[in-house]
Amino acid sequence: MTGIISSSVDIALNSLVLGGFFLIIAIGLNIIYGLSRIMNLAHGSLYALGAYFGFALVSHKVNYLLALLIAPIIVGFVGLIIERVVIAPVRSRSIVYTLILTYGLMFFFDGTIKYLWGREARFIELPNFLQQTVTIAGLHYPAFRLATLIIIAAVMVGLMLLLGKTKIGMTMRAASNIPEMVSALGINMTMVHISAFVLGCLLAGLAGILAGPLYTIHPIMGHQVLVGSFVVIVIGGLGSLRGALFASLLIGIVQTLAEFFITDFAMVIVYMLMALILVFMPRGIFGEGKFE
């Protein structure tokens, strides 16, 4: 009986961790799309950059907790450059332009990572206190995984407060639905677009450095997580933050259970679930085609 409880707790916590990664990456994508109608195909590469920047900082003896703050900021700065140099000149054109440009950026970043860090696998070394285990319902659970859950929860609370209680957050929400009125009120829409894009990139970078100690860091690590994030967006609904929250938890549970029982077909089950939802709800569970 104790073993069953421990296994259930382990599966539940691992589902939340996996779902949490998908959540903050997918929400970053959704924020960018909701405000700028840009689908950033280089988002997974920014996730990988977050992991590699974290690896570089920790390798140079920077404390991991400090690197956890610095790496996303660096990725956010990279996002700022992308927005100003690549996205801004074609913002008023068809979404196809940004799809092609960000698709090219994905391969540019892949090549840059290989050039700077090589092709071999990397890992981020954790401080000793995060390498310990915590006993939960008889289960010895890694302290870092538990800390990751706490960090993701804190980020989500902070994000909800930012979007719901601050001036810039409310401006973003308004700009997503009625940009003409926001512009007419004298608000600089360029700064709104920049803020949304950089915020999305910050979230991708944060997910990357959090994933670094848990998963293998390699040059194309962002490709798989990008696909998973798109699955979350499709199931939850494009532009819906509530949908991203629900879908990420759903996918985390389904994929974790599938990996536990039928290892080789875990992602197949996830894609089948996505196809099933699309048959009955083409816009996703909460999809309204706008940023909520």
Residues 6+ apart with CB under 8 A from 203: 24, 25, 27, 28, 31, 72, 155
Q: What percent of the chain has pLDDT over 70?
A: 89
- Chain centroid to Cα 7, Å, comes to 27
Cβ–Cβ < 8 Å for 208, 75:
yes
The stretch 16-42 carries a mean pLDDT of 86
Tell me the C-alpha distance between 173 and 168, whole Å: 9
5 or 36: whose pLDDT is higher? 36
Tell me the C-alpha distance between 255 and 127, whole Å: 29
Per-residue confidence band for 109, with pLDDT thresholds at 50, 70 and 90 = very high
pLDDT score, position 289? 46
pLDDT score, position 3? 56
Q: How does strand 139-142 pair with strand 133-136?
A: antiparallel
Checking phi first, is residue 61 left (phi over 0); if not, alpha (psi -120 to 50) or beta? left
pLDDT score, position 276? 86
Cβ–Cβ < 8 Å for 35, 176:
yes
Residues 6+ apart with CB under 8 A from 169: 161, 162, 163
- Cα within 13 Å of Cα(19), Cβ side: 25
Is 191 a residue whose pLDDT tops 90? no
Torsion angle of the four alpha carbons 190, 192, 196, 202, in this order, in degrees rounded to the nearest 10: 90
pLDDT score, position 6? 67
Cβ–Cβ < 8 Å for 122, 218:
yes
- How many other C-beta atoms can be found within 10 angstroms of the C-beta atom of residue 190? 13
pLDDT score, position 233? 85
The domains of the chain, with CATH numbers, are 2-280 (1.10.3470)
- Token pair in block for residue 244: 């991203």
Is 8 a residue whose pLDDT tops 80? no
- Please write the tens of the pLDDT for every residue from 235-248: 888 767 788 888 88
Is 129 a residue whose pLDDT tops 50? yes
- Please write the tens of the pLDDT for every residue from 37-85: 788 899 999 999 999 999 999 999 999 999 999 999 999 999 999 999 9
